[in-house]
A = this chain, B = another copy of it.
């Protein structure tokens, strides 16, 4: 079959690879309904993470089960399923505590920018719908696989509660999903930090009440000005740079939690500075599996429309253009039709 392979920085190809097969009795093979490009795919694409060998790309997926291994009990061929970018057995102690992304058997998905993909630990990873979803819901169900679940985790880790003032650092797809999540959790005021008009508009549509366009110290001053110099009750850090992390810490009031989901690149935190800021930090790879049933229900009942975060849709054969568009920030997030 044809699939997306990254050969080196900037060199992404849609080319022939072997079709996935059942390798372990706990695997499933799915036919993808759609797939997409993640902001984190840009790290190796930009050469910020090393590419030592051709890499099968893609870890966000939803689709129809076509085959299962002999040990798979809860999903079966013909079912529509969504899974997380981090596989999980859903039974180990970490899964039981709701931290599926640290599952004892965790693997990170790959190879999902293709027509078919192998999903390890199918029983613990995949959540099936009761019936085949309407076509127009596919983008939103695909979003649940990672970007929505990650934004949701940012709000969960920041302990967003009804009535709170929430600041969101980062206007990428994850930040926008963080705005959506904060709104769903009852935040009264949601301050999106964004310099891009199209992203500001989507943030407002998802529930942002205020926009701060400045960054760094000026951005923090903007948050303080909007909160009577108190700071936000919760902050969602959705970037992962030193600047964005400090911006999040300084925008938070004492006692606030910062949910950080942007994989930190070059971030060093000074212990004493963090101590006296009296802000809390909780982050990591999102335990999407914990949230999946709820998120899928919100999508299927049309209470949320996270799929709008895909502002570029291409046939998968044009995947290279999808990467370019995101790299050049012409697109927030690219959906690939398979």
Contact = CB atoms under 8 A, between A and B. Distances in A.
Interface of A: 93-94, 97-99, 101-102, 157, 228, 230, 233, 240, 242, 245, 253-255, 257, 260, 263-272, 274-278, 280-285
Interface centre among A245, A276, A280 (most CB of B within 10 A): A280
Nearest to A98: B255
Contact of A255 (B94, B245, B277): B94
Contacts of A266: 271
Nearest to A282: B280
30 contacts: A93-B230, A94-B255, A97-B253, A98-B255, A99-B253, A99-B254, A99-B255, A99-B278, A101-B254, A101-B278, A157-B280, A254-B284, A257-B282, A260-B275, A263-B275, A264-B272, A264-B275, A265-B272, A266-B271, A267-B270, A267-B271, A268-B271, A274-B281, A274-B283, A275-B284, A278-B285, A280-B281, A280-B282, A280-B283, A281-B282
Nearest to A267: B271
Contact of A97 (B255, B277, B282): B255
Interface centre among A253, A260, A268, A284 (most CB of B within 10 A): A284
B280 A280 contact: yes
Contacts of A265: 272
Interface centre among A101, A240, A275 (most CB of B within 10 A): A275
Contact of A268 (B233, B270, B277, B282): B270
Contacts of A283: 274-275, 278, 280
Chain copies in the assembly? 2
Given A257-B282, A281-B282, 15 more contacts: A93-B228, A97-B254, A99-B254, A102-B278, A240-B271, A254-B284, A264-B275, A268-B269, A268-B270, A274-B281, A275-B283, A275-B285, A278-B285, A280-B283, A281-B281
A233 B98 CA distance: 12
B284 A277 contact: yes
**Top 7 nearest A-B pairs by Cβ distance?**
A267-B271, A264-B271, A278-B284, A102-B254, A280-B282, A99-B255, A99-B254
A93 B253 contact: yes
A285 B279 CA distance: 11
Nearest to A270: B268
